């Protein structure tokens, strides 16, 4: 679990004071970088190496001061040295790194001045004394990251391809139907949780499966079954002699892991597919397109016959903006200067219910929830302006339990349920980034109501968990 931004800022201030008079590169660079990473709660030994040898363009050896694969490269210089020249040197080091090793952040530093380049082309330049005001530049390594997504991003495509292969392998051995669909959905949740701070440490799933299972895959299914059981067991009810690596996984709840599934069976090829899945960065996959990616796992002919299809995010926004979003933003603009009116609007939004009676993998619901959480974040920013925040959870009222869906096919309905949780988690991370207090809703206590059934044969009001509430058709946005 990442440190809160408040804690990071406290550590950044202490770090700046401790190192304010340091100037010598060789003697001080390593302890400086160790303590710099500690500002973000990161142990250098676990993630990065000093003096990584690489071949430069002229084929002579070069040594990277600090390299964290696929994350961070640091080049240290003595105070007053030419940092632009040092950046050219850092780029030359990158020439012979593999695609998997290339850093997403490059930091050039002379102990007093920091110049940071990210993989989006941005450049940040600030002094040690201003580190506390610029810690968000390091959101990526801190465990918080604002991401942008492309629907055809290679990571998205690769993830869908690998899960499709695993689906086919399990189906070939006779693991089919409801059990197969729920099994895949659980794995999808775990893969996403492993890279997005839902699990307490990134890479826990990969490490556990790689280190605790045989290469032939013969015991992998048993280990996965045990993991599913742990994710559904509170800490106080777990056995006291559990494997420490297994016991480190959090209690998830949400009924996702409640049903006991029959054991699957894996061979060496299937184990490799799953580990390859773990090796992808699932944090780069947006829940907004989560469903469309994994409809490809379903049989294409069956999907066409059932009428399942993917509606792009752009087209969804064209619908929901005039339907309700534009009017809510208009009301927000009119209420900005009056906190009482703004609180009423916030309360109103938190009680709205949304139903998609043919929800598929939930794209409409997911994007509607995301857009409302973005609006809520703007409301809370105005309400809490110049206030000290102690527990950010208390100020956010929207949750996934006001979203309802009906889907004829079971697998898409399962995907929709999980994708709503994943979008909720990402929006909580945005709130954490804004207010400096970590917001986390694990174990899951609320969930969207996604029903596997035929909307033409159901009373839609039966989806409501609170039967005492009188609902008219106008209370739902369809």
- At residue 128 the predicted structure's pLDDT band, cuts being 50, 70 and 90, is very high
Alpha-carbon torsion 22, 23, 24, 28, what sign? positive
- At residue 402 the predicted structure's pLDDT band, cuts being 50, 70 and 90, is very high
Cβ atoms of 420 and 400 closer than 8 Å: yes
Q: Is the pLDDT of residue 330 over 80?
A: yes
What pLDDT, on a 0 to 100 scale, did the predictor assign at position 149?
Answer: 45
Q: Following DSSP, what letter does each residue of 358-383 receive, concatenated?
A: T-TTSHHHHHHHHHHHHHHHHHHHHH
What pLDDT, on a 0 to 100 scale, did the predictor assign at position 100?
Answer: 67
* Least confident segment among 78-92, 278-292, 437-451: 278-292
Q: How far apart are the first and last CA of the chain?
A: 37
Rounded mean pLDDT of 185-196?
Answer: 88
- At residue 374 the predicted structure's pLDDT band, cuts being 50, 70 and 90, is very high
Identify the residue with better confidence: 379 or 84.
379
> CB under 8 Å, gap of 24 or more: what pairs does 146-149 form?
146/430, 146/433, 147/283, 147/284, 147/286, 149/284, 149/285, 149/286, 149/288, 149/289
Give the SS3 label for residue 195.
helix
What pLDDT, on a 0 to 100 scale, did the predictor assign at position 444?
Answer: 81
> What percent of the chain clears pLDDT 70, i.e. is strictly above it?
82
What pLDDT, on a 0 to 100 scale, did the predictor assign at position 61?
Answer: 65
Rounded mean pLDDT of 299-319?
Answer: 61
Output the CATH code of domain 5-142: 3.90.1570
What pLDDT, on a 0 to 100 scale, did the predictor assign at position 305?
Answer: 43
Q: Is the pLDDT of residue 468 over 60?
A: no
* CA distance to 40, 139, 187, 209, 316, per residue, from 203 (Å): 17, 18, 14, 10, 33
Q: Is the pLDDT of residue 471 over 60?
A: no
What pLDDT, on a 0 to 100 scale, did the predictor assign at position 302?
Answer: 41
Domain ranges of the chain: 5-142, 154-285, 313-477
Going edge to edge, which strands form the sheet with 72-76?
49-55, 61-68, 72-76, 105-109, 113-118, 123-127
- pLDDT digit string (tens) for 236-266? 999 988 888 899 899 987 688 999 999 999 9
What pLDDT, on a 0 to 100 scale, did the predictor assign at position 295?
Answer: 61
What pLDDT, on a 0 to 100 scale, did the predictor assign at position 55?
Answer: 62
How many CB atoms lie under 10 A from the CB of residue 409?
A: 19
Which tokens hold the place of 132? Answer: 């506390």
Residues 4, 186: Cα–Cα separation, whole Å: 28
What pLDDT, on a 0 to 100 scale, did the predictor assign at position 26?
Answer: 61
> What percent of the chain clears pLDDT 90, i.e. is strictly above it?
33
Mean pLDDT computed over every residue of the chain: 82
- At residue 307 the predicted structure's pLDDT band, cuts being 50, 70 and 90, is very low
- pLDDT digit string (tens) for 12-47? 988 998 888 765 656 688 889 899 999 988 876 667
Q: For residue 251, give the H/E element and its range.
A: none
Which tokens hold the place of 121? Answer: 């082309």
* Least confident segment among 23-27, 276-280, 375-379, 385-389: 23-27
Q: What is the CA radius of gyration of the chain?
A: 24
What pLDDT, on a 0 to 100 scale, did the predictor assign at position 338?
Answer: 94
- At residue 4 the predicted structure's pLDDT band, cuts being 50, 70 and 90, is confident
Rounded mean pLDDT of 76-81?
Answer: 82
What pLDDT, on a 0 to 100 scale, did the predictor assign at position 1?
Answer: 58
Identify the residue with better confidence: 1 or 323.
323
Q: For residue 54, give the H/E element and its range.
A: strand 49-55
Q: Is the pLDDT of residue 385 over 90?
A: no
* Least confident segment among 56-60, 164-168, 465-469: 465-469
Q: Is the pLDDT of residue 348 over 60?
A: yes
What pLDDT, on a 0 to 100 scale, did the predictor assign at position 415?
Answer: 85
- pLDDT digit string (tens) for 84-123? 888 888 888 777 777 667 888 999 988 889 999 988 888 8
Q: Is the pLDDT of residue 147 over 60?
A: no
pTM, rounded to two decimals: 0.68
């Amino acid at each position: 679990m990442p440190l809160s931004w408040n804690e990071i800022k406290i550590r950044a201030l202490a770090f700046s004071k401790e190192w304010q008079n340091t100037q010598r590169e060789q003697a001080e660079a390593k302890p400086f970088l160790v303590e710099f990473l500690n500002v973000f709660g990161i142990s250098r030994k676990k993630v990065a190496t000093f003096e990584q040898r690489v071949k430069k363009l002229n084929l002579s050896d070069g040594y990277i001061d600090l390299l964290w694969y696929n994350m961070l490269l640091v080049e240290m210089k003595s105070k007053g040295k030419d940092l632009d020249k040092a950046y050219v040197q850092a780029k030359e080091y990158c020439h012979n790194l593999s695609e998997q090793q290339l850093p997403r952040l490059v930091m050039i530093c002379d102990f007093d001045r920091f110049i940071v380049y990210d993989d989006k082309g941005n450049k940040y330049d600030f002094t040690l004394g201003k580190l506390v005001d610029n810690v968000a530049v390091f959101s990526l390594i801190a465990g918080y990251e604002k991401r942008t997504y492309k629907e055809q991003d290679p990571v998205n495509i690769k993830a869908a391809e690998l899960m499709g292969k695993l689906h086919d392998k399990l189906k070939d051995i006779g693991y089919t139907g409801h059990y197969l669909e729920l099994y895949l959905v659980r794995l999808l949740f775990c893969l996403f949780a492993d890279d997005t701070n839902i699990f307490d440490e990134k890479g826990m799933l990969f490490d556990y499966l790689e280190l605790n299972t045989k290469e032939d895959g013969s015991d992998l299914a048993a280990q996965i079954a045990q993991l599913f059981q742990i994710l559904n067991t509170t800490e106080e009810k777990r056995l006291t002699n559990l494997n420490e690596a297994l016991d480190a996984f959090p209690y998830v709840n949400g009924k996702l892991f409640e049903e006991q599934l029959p054991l699957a069976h894996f061979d060496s090829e299937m184990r490799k597919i799953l580990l390859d899945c773990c090796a992808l960065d699932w944090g780069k996959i947006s829940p907004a397109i989560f469903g469309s990616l994994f409809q490809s796992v379903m049989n294409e002919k069956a999907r066409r016959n059932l009428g399942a299809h993917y509606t792009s995010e752009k087209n969804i926004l064209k619908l929901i903006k005039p339907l309700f979003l534009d009017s809510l933003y208009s009301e927000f603009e009119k209420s900005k200067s009056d906190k009482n009116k703004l609180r009423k609007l916030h309360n109103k939004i938190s009680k709205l219910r949304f139903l998609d009676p043919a929800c598929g993998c939930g794209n409409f619901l997911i994007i509607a929830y995301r857009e409302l959480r973005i609006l809520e974040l703007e409301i809370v920013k105005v309400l809490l302006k110049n206030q000290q925040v102690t527990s950010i959870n208390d100020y956010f009222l929207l949750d996934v339990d006001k979203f309802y869906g009906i889907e004829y096919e079971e697998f898409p309905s399962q995907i929709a349920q999980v994708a709503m949780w994943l979008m909720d988690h990402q929006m909580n991370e945005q709130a954490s980034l804004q207010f400096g207090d970590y917001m986390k809703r694990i174990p899951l206590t609320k969930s969207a109501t996604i029903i596997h059934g035929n909307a033409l044969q159901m009373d839609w009001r039966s989806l409501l968990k609170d039967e005492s509430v009188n609902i008219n058709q106008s209370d739902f946005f369809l």
